[in-house]
Amino acid sequence: MTDEQIKQCITCKEVKPLESFPSRPSLPDGREGECNSCRSLRRKTGDGYLKERLRKHYYRSGGKGDLTLEQLREIESQKRCTYCGCVLYDEIRMVDHVYSLGQLWSLNCAINMVACCRSCNSSKRDSHVYDFYQRSDKFTTAQWEEFVYKFARRAMRCEPSKEELEQWSIGFELEAKELKEYLQRA
Ligand SMILES: [Zn+2]
Ligand SMILES: [Zn+2]
């Protein structure tokens, strides 16, 4: 085993193979500093991990983040992927921004955050959620309706009516079109 394939965990200080660390393509070695087992242990015990996420959220929103610990707990305890509906376990669980942070209409706030699987997170990237629904085979109509319902309920802070849900769904579709036109002009 060469040096490149192992790494020391910043938490338990154990030297482990690279595969034992969550992947993070933006880092030099493509892996996070804390190993998978330390991370999942932290998820199960205490709020340290969640508070760290809150801090990052606050930082990225330039101090305007409105996410609370309760909301983050709810997102972290979501059992299934928002988009494809697969069962989420620690290794594939990600927090996704429905309106991605690098995109037009980006929103770093609580209503914009959902749990999803690693595969949906990476294939959705910066695309509009409606476009992702259109092109992903696993993002079914039932999943879409559930997504729209939950998003609208978070945004409106009450139970949306059937008519309101239709409006939300059409709204997402129009936005996606608008975004495409905007990107073509740019
Ligand atoms: Zn560790
Ligand atoms: Zn998924």
**How far does the centroid of ligand 1 lie from the alpha carbon of residue 93, in Å?**
18
pLDDT in tens, 134-157: 999 999 999 999 999 999 999 999
Please give the angle made by the CA atoms of 24, 123 and 54, to the nearest 5 degrees: 50
The residue-averaged pLDDT of 44-68 equals 81
Taking the domain 1-45, which CATH number applies?
A: 3.30.60
**How far does the centroid of ligand 1 lie from the alpha carbon of residue 31, in Å?**
13
Cα atoms in the Cβ-side hemisphere of radius 13 Å centred on 102: 5
pLDDT level of residue 34 (50, 70, 90 thresholds): very high
* 85 Cβ contact partners less than 8 Å away, ≥ 6 residues apart: 138, 140, 143
Average pLDDT value for the chain: 90
**How far does the centroid of ligand 1 lie from the alpha carbon of residue 96, in Å?**
25
Burial of 58 (C-beta count, 10 Å sphere; 0-12/13-18/19+):
middle
**How far does the centroid of ligand 2 lie from the alpha carbon of residue 118, in Å?**
7
**How far does the centroid of ligand 2 lie from the alpha carbon of residue 182, in Å?**
27
Ligand number nearest to the C-alpha of 7: 1
| Identity at 173, one-letter amino acid code | E
Look up residue 148 and give its two tokens: 């729209």
Give residue limits of the domains in the chain.
Answer: 1-45, 46-185
**How far does the centroid of ligand 1 lie from the alpha carbon of residue 9, in Å?**
5
pLDDT in tens, 84-138: 999 998 889 999 999 988 888 888 888 999 999 999 999 999 899 999 999 999 9
